[in-house]
Structure 1
Amino acid sequence: MADEPALPEGGTPPRHPEEPAGAPPSGRLPLAVVVVDLYGLVSHWSTGARRLFGLSREEALGRSAADLLPISGVLDDVGTPVETAGGVAYPTDIVHTTVRLTGDENDRTTVFGTEEQPPLRLAEPTTGRFYTSGPPAAPGAGAAPPSRLDILYWAVPLTGPGPLRLLVLAADATGPARGLAAREGGHGSEASAGARIAAGFAPPGTLPGGAELARRLPEIMPSMNPRESGDITEQLLATGYPVLEISHRDRVPLVPDWGVPRRVERRSRLLRAAARARAAEDEETAGAAEAELGSELEYAAVRERLEFFNEVSAAIGTSLDLGRTITEVSRAVVPRFTDVAGTYLREQVVAGEGFPDGPPDAATLWHRVAVEHNDEPGRWDDVVPVGESMPFPVHTPFFRCMTTGQPVLVERIAEPAARQIAAQFEKRDIFPLINGRSMLVVPLKARQVVLGFMILLRHRSRAPFNDMDRVTGAELAARAGLVLDNARIYTHQENVAETLQDSMLPRVRPRMAGCDIATRYLPGTRLGRIGGDWFDTIRLPGSRTALVVGDVMGHGLHAAAMMGQLRTAVQTMAAMDTEPAQLLRGLDDLAQRLGEHYLATCLYAVYDPVRGELRIANAGHIPPVVVRAADGGSALLELPTGAPIGVGRVAFETVTVPVEPGDRLVMCTDGLVEVRGQDIGTGLAALCESAAHPAAAMDEACDTVIRALAAADRKDDVALLMARLNGIPAGDVARWPLERTAREVPRARRLVRERLARWDLAGALGDTAALLVSEILTNAVRHARGGTVALRLVRADALLCEISDEDPELPKLAEAGAADEHGRGLAVVSALARSWGTSRTARGKTVWFELALPARRRHPRPAR
């Protein structure tokens, strides 16, 4: 803002050049604008406030208003004079009036801020005057400015969706206001003595001048955006016009005025000099004056556009969020450059996908992602709603802009063109909104590819777009396109990483054989949102379950990709029934083959619900917590720590831990227990405490842990797996030793039928189970070595049948020919069983199959 000349003491403010002749007089005064927040702190301090009160913006912002302004007496108790070493410190003299705006002159209350009368809390607009603290200027002080100012103020509470704030307008009544009173309100001798002047409000609609206030007020609030200053203006006009009351006879609207800038004076002088020279036929002098005037105007235009680009560059690109960036780009140009800005983007950009393929055509869909304007609220919302998609025909200026990549200028939209454009919006009547307006369509492009475009419209009363505006629009579009492309690339990469990670995280079943499972995964913050933490549950032969939690070092796509490779390797080796320590050994070998930077921690546990035990091995991971059902106590399991996966040449050890039905196992990654500035032992102790909290459901138990430990400022992702180890009762397990002879096959069928009859499953599964046991046992009798065979039935979430022998060679599924007498046993098992498989054991192998239980006969889980 240019320097603002002060009006002379007692002088008369000049009539504003835009004020029409014959208009009602207005009080054009330099105004101080201050906004006080809910906590009494200054949140806005204008240039006028600096000049009036002598404090810079940096000194005032964030400080208590009571410490800076005499207006503080409106909010706080007024003090009394205090004797000090330097003399008497005078209190602030406050007189303020609550105006209820009923039009009744008597409906107002003047309140003095004294100890007897507490100050008003400003439930309504308030006006008044005050004097600055300190003694009046000494007589004979000459031209020194008085230290005691007579100030008028208007205070309005600002309501809305945000917190309560107080807007204060203040003006110096010692000079310009009194001069205005003498000019407007002087009557006889009263004028010579200086008329009485006071601050007040005029009820809405009773006094002209509100439109001028609405136009000028945003100009003196440069730190507020147009939308916010517009809302403030609407509240002022709704509650009443700030006015100057002169001798109880006249009211004049208050309008902010900063005089005439020096550059405007210089241009006016040059214009007058050129006109006089032309009149005197002095071509040389006139030409020199006009040349100097042209240079002055060119300089002003260039400076204005540089300031505009600087403001736009500061306003956009503050975030890599695509939606926020689009909003910033739209708001950066309204109302400084245009009155309406509509932003359209291609669907690939909106979706955060890859770069758009090929040039756009008449079938390309453009998504309207933002509409910003300074028209009355709601005027554009119903006609051109945000979120709509539409193509643009080839004959429109929009199509020409997006295919050529160059701005398209329409100085004024003629009526035929307006109707042609409006026809694209079918049932919506957009014609009145665009007819006669100036339009500029600018492309939003990056790397010579058009990502979208902006439609800029100016009101009919505003100067139309010109060639200079076309250049400005092209530069604006280039900057905005680059920012949008950065946001698009970031959004695309983030979507790829999240999709990759989501595809690798398992969909864990809440109930496995003999245990209930609950999991939680929390991505990291914006700086480390994609990580390598994972968990998994794997069904193993013998109704066992593998429980896995791992953490790859680092973040980003590399960590997520490595996590996927390790998780796949764990599933593969677990399906082969690999011992926990040997499985970690295999992971370590794999990580070294993949690269030297592959490092991870992993905790692998196998739960056997029949034996009631956990077999666990650890590779540099934080230990798990076991919560005992017997007493509710919790403790960290003491396990050999081991080295992280990828270190190489280290040993891993399997530990067997007995567990009881109802015990809970809690496994997590270090992102849950590590807190910056604290020892990890503190986090592990908090994990034990929160895990021991009783909960009726596993999901509730997980949520309790997350609420207790997941810090708001964490940078790492979190994986949490909790398992309630229910076990399988002894009555649901049956085991028989058999001899490896053919006569044991019918005995095995009979034993299976009898046990299924006891479990009330003979009718549904008896024949199928007997047939499949017969086929597998026959294979063992014919092909296995050793003298003993074992048959085991387990009733859990499915019916498990196992036949074990001492031969380590695994049977293979073969395709028998039509004339073959053998080779169909496993084919029958594969066709009739829900699942089947083979695994090696310490003494041989086990062939198993599962049959789904009838829905109404599934074995209920005891409540824990």
Structure 2
Amino acid sequence: MDRGTERDAPPSRGANSAAADDTADPGRVPLAVVVVDRDGLVSHWSTGARRLFGVAKEEAIGEPAIDLLPVSGALPEPEDTYGDYGAYDGLGPGLESSLDRGLSYPAAGRARLTVPGLDRERADVLWWAYPLVGPGRERLLVLAADATAVLRPEPRTPEQQAPEQQAPDSSSAAAVAVERIAPGFALHTDFPGADELARRLPDILPSMSVGESARIVAQVLELGYPVLEFSQNDRVPVTPDWGVARRVERRARRERAARAAAEGLPLPDDLADEGEDLEHAAVRERLEFLNEVSGRIGTSLDLSRTIIEVSKAVVPRFTDVAGTYLREQVVAGEGFPDGVPDTRTLWHRVAVEHTDEPGRWDDVVPVGEAMPFPAHTPFFQCMTTGQPVLVPRISEQMGHAIAAQFEKRDIRPLITGRSMLVVPLKARNVVLGFMVLLRHPERTEFNDMDRVTGAELAARAGLVLDNARMYTYQESVAETLQDSMLPHIPPRMAGCDIATRYLPGTLLGRVGGDWFDSVKLPGARTALVVGDVMGHGLNSAAMMGQLRTAVQTMAALDLPPARLLRNLDDLAQRLGDTYLATCLYAVYDPIAGELHLANAGHIPPVLVRAADGRTELLDLPTGAPIGVGGVPFESVTVRVDPGDRLVMCTDGLVEVRGEDIGVGLAALCESAAHPAASMDDACDTIIRALAATFTEAGHGDRKDDVALLMARLNGVEPDDVAEWRFPLDAAEVPRARAAVREQLHDWGLAKLAYHAELMVGELVTNAVRHSHRLPVTLRLVRGETLLCEVDDDNHDLPTLLSAGPEDEAGRGLRVVSTLAREWGTSRTGAGKSVWFELTLPRR
């Protein structure tokens, strides 16, 4: 066999022709293409692979490559004719073991295998394997070819076939000339056909974006061309030979067929059987494109990310420019009225993807712009009919009409002469938006098949966008519900500063049952609450709202912590036995410097001592969760000093499934001890530290929601508290007024004396009149405000009345309500307390 002839042979017509044409260049052979992902599973299986290995694409995709690829360096059998077929170029014991440890170098080899359906018992396979490096999932590219046709002896003339004229070893000589063929690699080769290989190599890769294809081609060319090595000094580059012509070739053949038909000539032989194959290939190519797009969009329920995925999925493979418009309500995550859009409907441009030079479209059609579209435009036609609108070429007249919608910006140079396809983005018979697809003038126009493809593409994209829209809407509703149920706690209460954080979980719905609260109590005290309804979702949030309201109501009754939890447990059982909740309730008395706490199955709080920064996990009787029933609760009193900090949180902050909760509690204690410039900074420090702890442990993002409450227990100085007791005698009312006036002058608050005297006189008068036997207590507390409290032993709470001109009573609380910054009443253990606050004058 003349090797020079082999190397310079013209390209064959296709795989089928190559198999039948004995003059074909042995370096131009049909190639099977297989791509293996990082998990060792087949992600692409070409038609050539199906023909070579006898396995359908549906049976190969997703299967382990080592079970399908017979390229593991198999040893020859004794009857082999062509010599040693062991792995070539350092493959080692086999591809299987290389895959297990990650192939890091190119490899090649030969193997014999039995392929069902072939007319011969075994096939001789040449293969090349390339490791792939990059951001995608592709990790190995395998090219394989049937060597049988390459090794076929040359055809002989009748004279050569005659025994008397045949050379004794002519056929064996032909065989000897190629028996040492082996697959190999050649880097920076100058072989004939190398340039064509570099140009055609992207065609043999699976359908993917231009960037991914270029990345893989660059790696293959760097690692080396696939070659057939005939000897130590003779190599022939392998170039792909197609069984089905590509797009450019199909277009040329269609043009030839059209010319033949126009001239009344018979169809050329090489085109006679092409019609069915070309149609099948075109349909298959579009289905592969749609499947690829479907796999690339919808990876997230985030609306913005979904929009970007849809835009990038079609550029540049299907179109050169893609502009996406959505209804205003879709962008806002809101519902919208039924019916078709009209000329008043606003459409937001949410994405523009293109292959033009950077920035060319940004100034003319910026993302984020909202605009309506008139009835005469193809966009409005697409919106109202819900069907694609095809414009083969945008004429100057149409370009001028479209550009008129963009005011002073001239969009005509960007669109005139281009082919345009407008496809609706709809789901469940509702038009959510549309996509404007444009092709460069030099590119093939959109046709009817593109219209069908675009409609199918838009249908899939519309469903994905609608899912993201509905999720965004539901998430907005859930967050609104959650926010409405969480209190807005003032940063300063009597004798303490408070900071809070609520973080929704990453679970679907983002609604949980965690809550925190603070309640103002008589005696300048403050109730601090943190609770957690077990479970997630709207039902848990609703249960949380009921329990929080109950805690506020019972706290206003000034119930001791243990009794409050007892009553809350009884209430939870009456509401139903479906839900359980944990709750930690603490009452801070800044005057006495004490914390009174009770726990119902909640994680213990952390107390940070101001004196030395030491943290203490308070040892409280755990108790059973709210809703269990029949379990007693106990209260604990803890002495605290001014500046100490109390940290209360739910288990979502410190507990991760599979990890000991002690790790989270230890991290909480450590992070709570860190000094911070403010209470808000201290809360942020705790959250960041706990998140980093579990991330380093490999537990990823937090799934549960988190409620965190931190209180700095400032206390109240003794000099800021004044208290008096008055007998039940109306003559004591002037003494009470004088005591208040004198004390306010001593504090430098003389400006408040007049109003304070007036209100104290009304409250002490009512207390003396309605008290049974205990003296009336009057207390002033100077803090962020001036707090005045009047206590007596009557449990009946006073009511604000509307006194008429002739009424002798009912005006006292009206005076207090008018003059006080804030006022209220609450029951105490001995009776009731009526209080009011006045704003301190600026210093």
Return the offset for 1:454: 0.9
Partner AA of 1:343 in structure 2: T
Matches within 5 A, 1:599-638: 599-638=580-619
* Bigger Cα displacement from structure 2, 558-567 vs 729-738: 558-567
Return the offset for 1:776: 0.9
Name 1:178's counterpart in structure 2: 191
Name 1:748's counterpart in structure 2: 736
Whether contact under 8 Å (2:495, 2:524) holds in the other structure is yes
Return the offset for 1:792: 1.2
Q: Deviations over 1:212-254 (max 9, x none)?
A: 98x9776566576335667999x99xxxxx99xxxxxxxxxxx
| SS of the residue 1:671 aligns to | coil
Unpaired stretches in structure 1, ≥5 consecutive residues: 1-5, 18-27, 36-43, 71-138, 154-172, 182-198, 200-208, 237-241, 244-254, 857-864
- What CA distance in whole angstroms lies between the structure 2 residues aligned with 1:452 and 1:559? 36
- What CA distance in whole angstroms lies between the structure 1 residues aligned with 2:564 and 2:363? 63
Return the offset for 1:835: 1.5
Name 1:818's counterpart in structure 2: 805
Structure 2 residue 793 is the aligned partner of structure 1 residue 758: no
Query: Cα distance 1:58–1:538, how it changes in 2: closer, same or farther (>3 A)?
Result: farther
| SS of the residue 1:178 aligns to | coil
Query: Cα distance 1:660–1:270, how it changes in 2: closer, same or farther (>3 A)?
Result: closer
TM-score with structure 2 setting the length? 0.74
* Bigger Cα displacement from structure 2, 372-381 vs 830-839: 372-381
- Number of corresponding residues: 697
| SS of the residue 2:738 aligns to | helix
Structure 2 residue 207 is the aligned partner of structure 1 residue 143: no
* Bigger Cα displacement from structure 2, 590-599 vs 344-353: 590-599
* Bigger Cα displacement from structure 2, 445-454 vs 635-644: 635-644
Query: Cα distance 1:33–1:380, how it changes in 2: closer, same or farther (>3 A)?
Result: farther
Name 1:492's counterpart in structure 2: 473
Name 1:11's counterpart in structure 2: 8
Name 1:647's counterpart in structure 2: 628
Return the offset for 1:326: 1.2
Query: Cα distance 1:744–1:65, how it changes in 2: closer, same or farther (>3 A)?
Result: same
- What CA distance in whole angstroms lies between the structure 1 residues aligned with 2:637 and 2:254? 97
- What CA distance in whole angstroms lies between the structure 2 residues aligned with 1:819 and 1:662? 54
Return the offset for 1:411: 1.8
* Bigger Cα displacement from structure 2, 738-747 vs 408-417: 408-417
Structure 2 residue 529 is the aligned partner of structure 1 residue 548: yes
Query: Cα distance 1:64–1:596, how it changes in 2: closer, same or farther (>3 A)?
Result: closer
Return the offset for 1:777: 1.0
Structure 2 residue 402 is the aligned partner of structure 1 residue 421: yes
Name 1:580's counterpart in structure 2: 561
- What CA distance in whole angstroms lies between the structure 1 residues aligned with 2:90 and 2:595? 76
Partner AA of 1:460 in structure 2: P
Query: Cα distance 1:417–1:562, how it changes in 2: closer, same or farther (>3 A)?
Result: same
- What CA distance in whole angstroms lies between the structure 2 residues aligned with 1:791 and 1:699? 36
Q: Deviations over 1:150-199 (max 9, x none)?
A: 6133xxxxxxxxxxxxxxxxxxx4xxx43369xxxxxxxxxxxxxxxxx9
Return the offset for 1:259: 4.6
Matches within 5 A, 1:794-809: 794-809=781-796
Structure 2 residue 461 is the aligned partner of structure 1 residue 480: yes
- What CA distance in whole angstroms lies between the structure 2 residues aligned with 1:816 and 1:274? 102
- What CA distance in whole angstroms lies between the structure 2 residues aligned with 1:420 and 1:267? 33
Query: Cα distance 1:29–1:321, how it changes in 2: closer, same or farther (>3 A)?
Result: farther
Return the offset for 1:531: 1.9
| SS of the residue 1:520 aligns to | strand
Name 2:209's counterpart in structure 1: 225
Return the offset for 1:631: 3.9
Matches within 5 A, 1:674-689: 674-689=655-670
Query: Cα distance 1:57–1:503, how it changes in 2: closer, same or farther (>3 A)?
Result: farther
Match of 1:727 among 699, 715, 724: 715
Structure 2 residue 393 is the aligned partner of structure 1 residue 405: no
Matches within 5 A, 1:38-437: 67-68=105-106, 142-144=177-179, 149=184, 151-153=186-188, 173=189, 177-179=190-192, 219=203, 222=206, 225-226=209-210, 258-263=240-245, 292-437=273-418
Query: Cα distance 1:377–1:296, how it changes in 2: closer, same or farther (>3 A)?
Result: same
Whether contact under 8 Å (1:670, 1:718) holds in the other structure is yes
Whether contact under 8 Å (2:244, 2:278) holds in the other structure is no
- The percent of aligned pairs where both chains have the same amino acid is 68
- What CA distance in whole angstroms lies between the structure 2 residues aligned with 1:477 and 1:545? 58
Whether contact under 8 Å (1:270, 1:292) holds in the other structure is no
Return the offset for 1:527: 4.6
Unpaired stretches in structure 2, ≥5 consecutive residues: 15-27, 36-42, 49-68, 72-87, 109-172, 226-236
| SS of the residue 1:826 aligns to | helix
* Bigger Cα displacement from structure 2, 708-717 vs 525-534: 525-534
- What CA distance in whole angstroms lies between the structure 1 residues aligned with 2:637 and 2:400? 82
- What CA distance in whole angstroms lies between the structure 1 residues aligned with 2:559 and 2:646? 21
| SS of the residue 1:464 aligns to | coil
Whether contact under 8 Å (2:645, 2:710) holds in the other structure is yes
The Cα RMSD (Å) is: 4.3
| SS of the residue 1:673 aligns to | coil
Query: Cα distance 1:309–1:761, how it changes in 2: closer, same or farther (>3 A)?
Result: same
Whether contact under 8 Å (2:556, 2:827) holds in the other structure is no
Return the offset for 1:626: 1.8
- What CA distance in whole angstroms lies between the structure 2 residues aligned with 1:816 and 1:280? 110
- What CA distance in whole angstroms lies between the structure 2 residues aligned with 1:798 and 1:365? 51
Whether contact under 8 Å (2:759, 2:815) holds in the other structure is yes
Whether contact under 8 Å (2:394, 2:419) holds in the other structure is yes
Return the offset for 1:364: 0.7
* Bigger Cα displacement from structure 2, 673-682 vs 321-330: 673-682
Return the offset for 1:495: 1.4
Match of 1:657 among 618, 638, 645: 638
- What CA distance in whole angstroms lies between the structure 1 residues aligned with 2:539 and 2:95? 48
- What CA distance in whole angstroms lies between the structure 2 residues aligned with 1:57 and 1:472? 40
| SS of the residue 2:627 aligns to | coil
Partner AA of 1:226 in structure 2: V
Query: Cα distance 1:180–1:573, how it changes in 2: closer, same or farther (>3 A)?
Result: closer
Return the offset for 1:595: 3.1
Structure 2 residue 715 is the aligned partner of structure 1 residue 718: no
- What CA distance in whole angstroms lies between the structure 1 residues aligned with 2:180 and 2:734? 119
* Bigger Cα displacement from structure 2, 592-601 vs 304-313: 592-601
Structure 2 residue 661 is the aligned partner of structure 1 residue 673: no
- What CA distance in whole angstroms lies between the structure 2 residues aligned with 1:227 and 1:777? 84
Return the offset for 1:362: 0.6
Return the offset for 1:356: 4.8
| SS of the residue 1:567 aligns to | helix
- What CA distance in whole angstroms lies between the structure 2 residues aligned with 1:684 and 1:479? 47
| SS of the residue 1:672 aligns to | coil
Name 2:168's counterpart in structure 1: none
Q: Deviations over 1:400-423 (max 9, x none)?
A: 110111111112222211111111
- What CA distance in whole angstroms lies between the structure 2 residues aligned with 1:543 and 1:217? 81
Whether contact under 8 Å (1:271, 1:293) holds in the other structure is no
Query: Cα distance 1:57–1:267, how it changes in 2: closer, same or farther (>3 A)?
Result: farther
Return the offset for 1:547: 0.7
TM-score with structure 1 setting the length? 0.72
Name 1:516's counterpart in structure 2: 497
Return the offset for 1:445: 0.6
* Bigger Cα displacement from structure 2, 337-346 vs 691-700: 691-700
Matches within 5 A, 1:785-796: 785-796=772-783
Return the offset for 1:586: 3.3
Return the offset for 1:261: 4.1
Return the offset for 1:145: 5.0
